[in-house]
Amino acid sequence: MLDDLLRLAADAAVRAHVPYSRRPAGAAMRLADGRTVAAPRLENASFPLTIPALAGAWALAGVAGSPPVAVALTRPLEPAERAFLDEVAAADGLGRWRFPAPDRAQREPSAPDGPPASFDVAADAAPGDGAALAFEASRRAVVPASGFAVGAVVEAADGRRVLGANVEHTADWTRGLCAERVALVAARAAGLGPVRRVYVACAPAPGGTPCGGCRQVLAELAPGAEVVLWTGATPEHTSVDTLLPGAFGGESIHGARTA
């Protein structure tokens, strides 16, 4: 069973966005209800905005609505990551984590044959209005601290869609992820191609716009995409370029490459 998680983590690593470190990484989690989620590492030119694979997988587990009980990464677990998992386990009342044996804790990525069968927070080609779907996605938000639920939908050029919602870490506010970022993690994990449209909905603040951090992440992972904001009435249309004009893309960083 843990070998299956390692395979999923390795498949996710192939989809990593690592133009700066050039060190792809993936993480996979088995949830308490038997489902699994996997996520790749997503780097950003604004380094603190980088989403580690483990954080991405944990956020997808939150959106899936079931706590994780086992985890696998494509490289050895670091002390900070172990501490993060212990905090999550304590907050969710989980028992001991299950990890692969030390000699199997690292597995080289190999090109996946197709979208990971484990990924189950996708909307696929869900019909209907994208802004309304983003509002529905906000119902999956995990916001015990703020109560500020946000939903997002990322739509690829081929029409496929995935869902995201903001997920908070009960013990540490700084470790939460916004809905737009979770949806982008979901899109990369599901193997979606270029992003053409992002829908965002927030019931507590209809018509609210992405935060500055999400604008930077969108500028790198969804450049040129249209952004549709749910207002509770007629959706507002804008774009990533309009939200963050003159965005820094990291091209001048030493060793950077397009990924």
Is the domain spanning 122-243 CATH 3.40.140.10? The answer is yes
In this prediction, residues 54-83 reach a mean pLDDT of 89
| Highest CATH level, class, for 2-104 | alpha beta
Share of the chain above pLDDT 90, in %: 61
Domain boundaries, the chain: 2-104, 122-243
The CA distance from 148 to 167, in Å, is: 10
pLDDT above 70 covers a percentage of the chain that reads 82
Q: Is the pLDDT of residue 221 over 90?
A: yes
- Residues designated as active site: 180
Within 10 Å of residue 95's Cβ, how many Cβ atoms?
7
Average pLDDT over residues 137-156: 95
Fold agreement (2-104, 122-243): yes
Supply the Cα-derived Rg of the chain in whole angstroms.
17
Note the pLDDT tens digit of each residue in 156-181. Answer: 999 999 999 999 987 777 789 999 99
Burial grade of 94 (CB within 10 A; 0-12, 13-18, 19 or more): middle
Min mean pLDDT across 40-49, 94-103, 135-144, 213-222 is at 94-103
